[in-house]
Amino acid sequence: MLSSILMLLVACDDSIINPGSGGGDTAPVVEEDPVIQLDVSEIDFGVVEYGKAYQGHMSLTNGGAADLVVNAITADTPFTVNPLSATIAPGNTTQIVVGLSALQYGELDASLTFTSNDPDLPEAVVSLIASVNADSDGDGYDLVDAGGTDCDDDAIDVNPGASEVWYDGVDQNCDGLSDYDQDGDGYESDHHNDNPAAGGGDCQDSNTEYHPYAADEPYDNADTNCDGADDYDFDGDGSRSSDYGKGLDCDDYDPNVNISSDEQLNGKDDDCDGEVDTSCDAMLSERVYVGRGSHDRAGYSLALGDLDSDGFAEVIVGAPYYNATSPAANGRGMVGIFAGGTDILASTDLGDADEEIQGSSSSDGLGNFVTVMGDYDGDSIPELAISALAINSNGGAVYLISGDDVMRGRDTSDALVTLSGSSGEYAGRGVATNVDLDGDGMSELVASYTSSSNNAVAVEYGGSGGSVGTSSTDARWSYTGTSETFYENMGVGADLDGDGYDDLMFSDGGVDSPSTDAGAVWVVWGQPSRYAGTSSFNSVSTMIGQGASSSAGFGTASQVGPDLTGDGVPEIWVYSDASSLEAFPGGAYLRSGTVDQNEPLMSYEWGSTDIAAIRRGGDFGGDGIDDMFVSLPTYSLGALAWIDSELCCAPSGSSLDYAEGEFYGGYVGGSADGLNAAFAEGMAPLGADIDGDGDVDYAAGDPEQEDASEYKEGAAYVFMNEHK
Read off the pLDDT of residues 329-355 as tens digits, 9 standing for 90 and up: 999 999 999 999 998 888 899 999 999
pLDDT at position 144 is 86
pLDDT band of 609, cuts 50, 70, 90: confident
| H or E segment to which residue 281 belongs | strand 280-281
pTM (predicted TM-score)? 0.73
* pLDDT of 392 above 70: yes
- Indicate the pLDDT class of residue 211, thresholds 50, 70 and 90: very high
In the predicted model, is pLDDT for residue 657 greater than 70?
no
Please determine, for residue 674, whether its predicted confidence score (pLDDT) is greater than 90: no
Q: What stretches of 375-444 adopt beta strand conformation (E)?
A: 383-388, 397-402, 417-420
Phi then psi dihedrals of residue 424, to 5 deg? 80, 5
Is the confidence at residue 468, as pLDDT, over 50? yes
Give the number of C-alpha atoms closer than 13 A to the C-alpha of residue 328, restricted to the C-beta side. 0
C-alpha–C-alpha distance, residues 347 and 290, integer Å = 8
| Higher per-residue pLDDT: 662 or 269 | 269
Tell how strand 280-281 and strand 666-669 pair up: parallel
Q: Is pLDDT at 118 greater than 60 in this prediction?
A: yes
In whole angstroms, what is the distance from residue 594 CA to residue 600 CA?
12
Look at residue 143 in the predicted model and tell me its pLDDT. Answer: 85
More confident residue, 142 or 423: 423
With beta carbons less than 8 A apart as the criterion, state whether 240 and 252 touch: yes
Which has the closest alpha carbon to 702: 684, 680, 675, 683? 680
- Domain locations in the chain? 10-133, 292-435+444-476
| pLDDT tops 50 at residue 27 | no
Residues 6+ positions from 308 with CB-CB distance below 8 Å:
314, 339, 403, 404, 407
Instruction: Name the 3-class secondary structure at 478.
Output: strand
Is 10-133 a domain of CATH 2.60.40.10? Answer: yes
Instruction: Using a pLDDT cut of 90, give the percent of the chain over it.
Output: 71
Characterize the bridge pairing of strands 627-632 and 613-618. Answer: antiparallel
Phi, psi for 37 (deg, rounded to 5): -130, 125
pLDDT band at 124 (very low <50, low <70, confident <90, very high): very high
Tell me: pLDDT of 656 over 60: no
CA–CA separation, 477 vs 454, rounded Å? 11
| DSSP H or E segment with residue 448 | strand 445-451
**Cβ–Cβ contacts within 10 Å for residue 368, how many?**
28
Give CA–CA dist 219/224, Å, rounded: 11
pLDDT > 90? residue 8: no
SS3 for 343-388 is CCCCCEEHHHCCEEEECCCCCCCEEEEEEEEECCCCCCCCEEEEEE
In the chain, what is the greatest distance between 2 CA atoms, to the nearest angstrom?
170
Per-residue pLDDT averaged across 545-559, rounded?
93
CA 448 vs CA 357, 387, 455, 485, 700: distances in Å: 22, 11, 7, 11, 22
Q: How far apart are CA 399 and CA 363, in angstroms?
A: 16
Mean pLDDT of 649-676: 65
Mean pLDDT score, 590-610: 86
Strand duo 541-546 + 520-524: pairing: antiparallel
pLDDT for the residue 578: 67
Residue 413 has pLDDT above 50, yes or no: yes
- Domain 292-435+444-476: CATH superfamily is Integrin alpha, N-terminal (2.130.10.130)
Amino acid type, 707: D
Residue 31 DSSP class: P
Instruction: Flag whether pLDDT at 635 surpasses 70.
Output: yes
What is the pLDDT at residue 650?
A: 52
CA distances from 227 to 98, 181, 194, 212, 220 (A): 66, 18, 11, 7, 15
